[in-house]
Structure 1
Amino acid sequence: MADFPFIIEINEQNLTEILQQSLDKPLVVNFYAPSHKESADFLVLLERVAEQYQGQFILGKVNCESEQIVAAQFRIQALPTTYLFKEAQALDAFPGGLDQTSLLQRLSVILPKEEELKFHQALDFLQVENYDAALPLLKEAWELSDKKTAISPYSTQKPILR
């Protein structure tokens, strides 16, 4: 498997730092053991999904065979066990493996919505004054949001035009 900066081995030394990163980006922490087939298989699925989502969340892997102290801190009793963090809060946790459809449904709790992604892409274009690229993204974000006001407060925080 290729190395990705958003797939991280968690150990006792970096645990606090990784958990703090969930303030900025959703975090999935998977507790597994290489010798445990179900947990090793589920980890492969998690890694594949993390690659597909290209950094929309951090995947933290805890090898319970070598990181028993970390596993004990989370009171892990079944393998695999997965925690979902957003803004440094555990929003969900589940024992056992899932199929891809069920996993994606669970991840939807922490992942940004499509309209949020498009809105932030548009903001990036606006910062470099690429209005032609930003406008269609803003329109799509607004339409995806069912024309709710959820996006509107963001658009008034910074002046778009000078």
Structure 2
Amino acid sequence: MPKKSFSEIINSPGMPVLVDFYADWCGPCKAMAPVLEQLAQQHQGKLKVIKIDVDRNPAAAQQFRVQSIPTLILFHKGQPVWRQAGAVPAGQLTQAVQPFLS
């Protein structure tokens, strides 16, 4: 199966996509990893969670004006509908994605 581009993933109809802009050297990013994994498992089939390494994908980070990491952006039908810079508690993250889950 061919690998989809970032824009193909976020523009896919149906399920919302939560994008984690991170870097391997970022402490708060590492702290968010288990929270995001848990969220992805809880909402499997309803929410797609992807990680974008800003060091390897500077164009994607620049396109969405990511200035600090981690930055989380929720896309629904290709549009950013929620955005948060910095680590987010699991409860707040769940509240943010809930309205967009089908």
TM over 0.5: yes
Q: Which residue of 1 aligns with 2:80?
A: 90
More strand, by proportion: 2
Secondary structure of 1:24's partner? coil
1:52, distance to aligned residue in structure 2 (A): 1.9
Q: Which has the higher contact order (CA 8 A, sep 6+)?
A: 2
TM-score by length of 1: 0.57
Asked if 1:41 is matched to 2:31, the reply is yes
Whether the aligned pair in 2 keeps the contact of 1:20 and 1:88 (CA below 8 Å) is yes
Distance 2:99 2:73 in 1: 12
**Correspondences of 1:1-162 after superposition (within 5 Å):** 14-21=5-12, 23-112=13-102
Task: Give secondary structure in 2 for the equivalent of 1:28.
Answer: strand
Counterpart contact for 1:32–1:43, Cα < 8 Å? no
Q: Give 1:55 shift.
A: 2.1
- In structure 1, distance between residues paired with 2:67 and 2:99: 23
**CA RMSD, 1 decimal:** 1.7
Which letter maps to 1:14?
Answer: S
**Which position in structure 2 is the counterpart of 1:152?**
none
CA distance in 1, matches of 2:58, 2:99: 28
Tell me the SS of whatever aligns to 2:11. helix
Q: Distance between the aligned counterparts of 2:100 and 2:93, measured in 1?
A: 12
Instruction: Spell out structure 1 runs of 4+ moving beyond 6 A.
Output: none
Give the AA of the match of 1:53: H
The normalised TM-score by structure 2 is: 0.87
Deviation at residue 85 of structure 1 after TM alignment: 1.3
Higher helix proportion (structure 1 or 2): 1
**Aligned partners of 1:30 and 1:43 also within 8 Å:** no
Q: 1:131 maps to what in 2?
A: none
How many pairs are equivalent?
A: 100
